[in-house]
Amino acid sequence: MKIALFAPDGRMGRAISDAAAQTGDIEIVEEGGDVLIDFSAPDALRASIDRALSGNMPLLVGTTGLDEGHESLLASAAEDIAVLKAPNTSLGVALLSDLVERAARVLSREDWDIEIVEAHHKHKADAPSGTALHLGLAAEKGRVEDAHDEMGRCGTGLKRETGSIGYAAVRGGTVAGDHDVLFLGPQERLILSHRAESRAIFARGAIAAARFLKEQGPGLYSMADVIDAE
């Protein structure tokens, strides 16, 4: 299988090349390829979509910090090619997302407050992380209603609103990616956590997603589809 990397020299680009070298059946190519993988920056998304469409290649997007305009571009591209958008390609976070949804369904919004805390290396450009936002959406899905987001509180008069989801971001050092989803209830706390010990976990997940995408027709896919297919 041939994988083309949109940003081969970035941290994730290099991690994917290293992971591919360990597979024995994946070649990283500069032109063409069975699948195009983009872990770069939001501003680059239009260019990676154009490259995938012009080469008729499925596209895996791991870039975070995307807005609604980017989501529309991806949905439109998915009419012609297979597109998978994943703010986190690790197996552990895919499972964590299911656990968060279930916990949010069981624990009432009146009694249990949800806060999401994430920590990443000092070079990370976006906050909160794409994974934190994805876990927040899983919690909303469990509660079957939209939540008001409370981002990085600072100041006075900031008592939390019942049913809101709070986000806090820590940056520093070389942290590959920590995520804690806190369910804070009356006299008890449930904390669901994931720790990425290196980027290799994201790279292996990206390769699994690329193998999956190679077999798919046009459409919008997620890591849940990759896991269901394995």
Ligand X SMILES: O=C(O)C1=N[C@H](C(=O)O)C[C@H](O)C1
Ligand Y SMILES: NC(=O)C1=CN([C@@H]2O[C@H](COP(=O)(O)OP(=O)(O)OC[C@H]3O[C@@H](n4cnc5c(N)ncnc54)[C@H](OP(=O)(O)O)[C@@H]3O)[C@@H](O)[C@H]2O)C=CC1
For residue 120, indicate whether it is catalytic.
Answer: yes
Nearer to ligand Y, 43 or 228 (CB): 43
Q: Is 88 annotated as a binding residue?
A: yes
Asked whether position 136 contacts ligand Y by CB under 6 A, the answer is no
- Comparing every residue's Cβ against ligand X, the nearest one is 177
Nearer to ligand Y, 64 or 97 (CB): 64
Q: Note whether 5 and 13 are within 8 A (CB).
A: yes
Task: Answer with the entry of ligand Y, ligand X, none that 10 interacts with (C-beta below 5 to 8 A by kind).
Answer: ligand Y
Asked whether position 40 contacts ligand Y by CB under 6 A, the answer is yes
Q: Is 162 annotated as a binding residue?
A: no
Task: Answer with the entry of ligand X, ligand Y, none that 97 interacts with (C-beta below 5 to 8 A by kind).
Answer: none
Q: Which of 3, 4, 12, 107 is close enough to bind ligand Y by CB under 6 A?
A: 12
Binding site for ligand X (CB under 6 A): 64, 87-88, 120, 124, 129-131, 177
Positions at the binding site for (S)-2,3,4,5-tetrahydrodipicolinate: 121, 130-131
Positions at the binding site for NAD(+): 30, 62-64, 86-89
Catalytically active residues are 120, 124
